[in-house]
């Protein structure tokens, strides 16, 4: 399968934080959910991918090209929405259209105005009159309207109410149906990703914990709930992490089918991405 984005052994050191050998691939036409708690290194990784951070070790290829040597060529094919991104509040969507068609060769004015209409954004209203959800939708619409081959989105649904989040997710699904586009979507709202992401890459404390197909991850991983006596009989090789609660043990297992075949423990629950993050970060080995 052709990869649109390849990150290999990405390292970046700060005084109080370090990215350590970040490695993952995003296949063409797929959505990858990029998850981890705040401060895990998601935004730093994205800024390295976008060549905003230039002094790092490792290799990043976009469309097979070195991102540091082909910056201008790559930028034309990427749509970006960052968590700290914003448009000047005095601008209107009309102003944004006029600006962007001078920047991108493939800027699609019709597409931009069609999206404005679809999401009830008035083209002649100043951005300062828009709600947070409306501003975020405008940022996403702008990122989409030059037909990018890769969308890189850092917390695009953060702070939005459930209705606005659903509308934003609808935009992503719509663009995948219309264009041959791939998406790297960083978010701490993992319930959104469970429904739309083809792959999940989980980063913690500057390191990749796992990078897997979403269906495989949610189907194979599980949480075993057991007594202290049952837990003591489980071989350490057969679980990833565990957490002791007031009444029981919660144990993260990587392959529930194999675990069921080996142990006579009846309570084996399906896992969510939230469960996975909590146990991987807070659990004991």
- Report the CATH number at residue 158: 3.40.50.300
The answer on 199 and 143 residing in a single domain is yes
Which residues of the chain have a pLDDT value below 50? none
pLDDT by residue (tens digit) across 50-75? Answer: 999 888 999 999 999 998 887 777 88
Domain count, the chain: 2
| Euclidean distance between CA atoms 38 and 100, whole angstroms | 32
pLDDT by residue (tens digit) across 144-194? Answer: 999 999 999 998 887 778 887 888 888 787 777 766 789 999 988 888 888
Query: How far are the Cα atoms of 70, 237, 246, 255, 260 from residue 222, in angstroms, in the given order?
Result: 43, 15, 20, 7, 11
The answer on 191 and 69 residing in a single domain is yes
Q: What is the pLDDT of residue 12?
A: 93
The answer on 70 and 97 residing in a single domain is yes
Tokens of 56: 């790092």
Which range marks the domain in which residue 230 is found? 221-282
In terms of pTM, does the model score above 0.95?
Answer: no
> Where a domain ends, among 157, 184, 213?
213
Q: What is the pLDDT of residue 159?
A: 72
Q: What is the pLDDT of residue 155?
A: 85
The answer on 190 and 244 residing in a single domain is no
């Amino acid at each position: 399968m052709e990869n649109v984005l390849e990150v290999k052994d990405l390292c970046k050191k700060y005084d109080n934080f370090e990215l350590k050998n970040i490695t993952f691939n995003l296949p063409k036409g797929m959505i990858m959910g990029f998850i981890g708690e705040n401060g895990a290194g998601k935004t730093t990784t994205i800024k390295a991918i976008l060549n905003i951070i230039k002094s790092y070790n490792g290799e990043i290829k976009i469309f097979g090209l070195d991102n540091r040597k082909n910056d201008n060529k790559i930028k034309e094919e990427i749509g970006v929405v960052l968590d700290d991104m914003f448009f000047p509040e005095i601008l209107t969507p009309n102003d944004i259209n006029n600006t962007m068609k001078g920047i991108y060769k493939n800027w699609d004015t019709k597409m931009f105005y069609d999206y404005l209409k679809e999401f009830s954004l008035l083209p002649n209203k100043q951005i300062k009159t828009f709600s947070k959800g409306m501003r975020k939708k405008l940022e996403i619409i702008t990122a989409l309207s030059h037909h990018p081959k890769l969308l890189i989105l850092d917390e695009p649904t953060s702070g939005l109410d459930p209705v606005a989040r659903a509308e934003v997710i609808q935009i992503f699904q719509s663009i995948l149906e219309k264009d041959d586009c791939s998406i790297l979507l960083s978010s701490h709202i993992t319930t959104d990703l469970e429904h739309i992401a083809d792959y999940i890459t989980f980063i913690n404390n500057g390191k990749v914990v796992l990078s897997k197909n979403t269906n495989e991850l949610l189907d194979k991983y599980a949480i075993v709930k057991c007594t202290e006596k049952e837990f003591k009989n489980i071989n350490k090789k057969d679980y990833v992490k565990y957490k002791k609660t007031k009444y029981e043990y919660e144990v993260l297992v990587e392959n529930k089918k194999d675990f069921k075949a080996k142990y006579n423990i009846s309570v084996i629950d399906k896992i969510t991405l939230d469960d996975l993050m909590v146990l991987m970060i807070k659990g004991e080995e």
